[in-house]
Amino acid sequence: MAVVVGLSIVGLHASGAGPYLGLDVAVGCASVALVPFLARWPVTVTVALSALAALSLAATPPATMAVFLVARWRRLAIAARLAAVGAAAHLIRELWRPYHGLPYVWWTVLACMTYAALVGWGTLIRANRALISSLLERAEHAEAEQARRVAETRRAERATIAREMHDVLAHRLSLLAAYAGAISYHPDAPPQQLSDAAEVIRSGAHQALNELREVINVLREDEIPGSRHPLPGVGDLPRLIEETRKAGTPVSVAGDAWPSSQVPDAIGRIVYRVVQEGLTNARKHAPGEAVRIEFRGEPGTGAEVDITNQLPAAPAASSVPGTGTGLIGLAERLGLAGGRLVAGTRGGHGDDGHDGHDGGHGAEFGLHAWLPWAE
């Protein structure tokens, strides 16, 4: 800026030293000295430079640069007012030191257009920077939101995996424990019975591995299309009930006969898990006690499953340790589907046991699930 001011002074007095050479040099030095203070006091310094421009054209480069910087740093209203001050200063200087060869009208038009261009240029740069900053902020926000969604998806996937594994393994392992317990209690049983029980245990372990593999395949995103096995539904309930009966738990079924073709797959899968959880809990906490399953429902009114079993007078020592989260996960599953789950002891008295089971004389444990079934 010092070089530009110096060249301006040389240009003003190129034909010889005029009567205002000293004034121009003094104004030029003062304007250059004010330039470093623009960053701290832009408005005040711009007004001062405009005042110096009213005395000499030597202050024109710093004054116009100051208006441009204010337009980049401040609001448009402030920049426009300072531009008006700068243009007025140049018009005042032209009145008492006219520039030879240019009419005053054209000088006025030139000064106004110059300051308008400076304000527009500076405002455009400020707007572009604001836009870039906004886009960067939105990109960072979108990236953070994406990371949050990925984390939530992973947490939901882990919860789904845990729930599915609990449903599969708890049922199968409780069956295996029942047969293994029968072998340990009757080691003197006929060899054929021991062989049959061992075969059931082997077959049950094999089925548990297959079902666990199916759960993992369903949850894998990179699985080959068409290789998934369908998740169990209403059509698989007879097999589930028959397995439970073979394990020594009497099971009776009442209520409506639900053709699997009429029950939606989503409802069928949840009904299967409800029955599976009810039978598993009954086998763990009330071994040998009768279980009653009742189905009700139709499109428009909802689907209902009611499972009850008698509780022993004394709490049973389960051979399969429970996590205490089976009913919690089941309630979450129904809640996500818009249904509800009610579980607890009905009648009798006793102490709290696992998974909400109470031991008490004459008491029974009930599990009631309701699911919406659209018409």
Q: Are the C-beta atoms of 86 and 115 separated by less than 8 Å?
A: yes
Enter the tokens of residue 127: 């707007």
* Whole-number Å distance between alpha carbons of 194 and 213: 29
Report how far apart, in Å, the C-alpha atoms of 151 and of each of 27, 142, 332, 374 are.
64, 14, 19, 33
DSSP class of residue 345? E
Enter the tokens of residue 97: 């030191």
Enter the tokens of residue 211: 């079902």
Q: Are the C-beta atoms of 314 and 359 separated by less than 8 Å?
A: yes
**Cβ neighbours, 10 Å, residue 102:** 11
pLDDT in tens, 249-287: 889 988 765 655 578 888 888 888 889 888 888 888 888
* Whole-number Å distance between alpha carbons of 114 and 107: 10
Q: What is the pLDDT along the chain (375 residues), one digit of tens a residue?
A: 999 998 888 887 775 546 788 888 999 999 999 999 999 999 999 999 999 999 998 999 999 999 999 999 999 999 999 999 999 999 998 888 887 678 889 989 999 999 999 999 999 999 999 999 999 999 999 988 888 888 887 777 677 666 666 666 666 677 777 777 767 777 777 777 777 777 777 777 777 777 667 666 655 544 444 445 567 888 888 888 888 888 778 899 887 656 555 788 888 888 888 898 888 888 888 888 889 999 888 888 888 999 999 888 766 555 455 555 678 778 888 887 888 999 888 765 544 444 455 455 568 889 999 999 887
DSSP 126-161: HHHHHHHHHHHHHHHHHHHHHHHHHHHHHHHHHHHH
* Whole-number Å distance between alpha carbons of 195 and 191: 6
Cα of 291 vs its chain's centroid, Å: 42
Enter the tokens of residue 233: 């539904």
Query: What one-letter code names the amino acid at 290?
Result: A
* Whole-number Å distance between alpha carbons of 371 and 342: 12
> Which has the closest alpha carbon to 214: 229, 226, 233?
229
- Look at residue 353 in the predicted model and tell me its pLDDT: 42
Which residues are bridge partners to 252 per DSSP?
292
Q: Are the C-beta atoms of 30 and 83 separated by less than 8 Å?
A: no
Domain boundaries, the chain: 2-101, 233-375
* Whole-number Å distance between alpha carbons of 276 and 203: 18
* Whole-number Å distance between alpha carbons of 65 and 163: 69
- 132 CB contacts (<8 Å, ≥6 apart)? none
Cα of 195 vs its chain's centroid, Å: 54
pLDDT in tens, 214-238: 666 655 544 444 445 567 888 888 8
- 365 CB contacts (<8 Å, ≥6 apart)? 281, 282, 285, 286, 308, 309, 311, 343, 344, 345, 346, 356, 357, 358
- Look at residue 292 in the predicted model and tell me its pLDDT: 92
Using alpha carbons only, how large is the chain's radius of gyration in Å?
44
Q: Could you tell me the fold of the domain covering 233-375? A: Heat Shock Protein 90 (3.30.565)
pTM beyond 0.75: the answer is no
| Number of residues that this document lists for the chain | 375
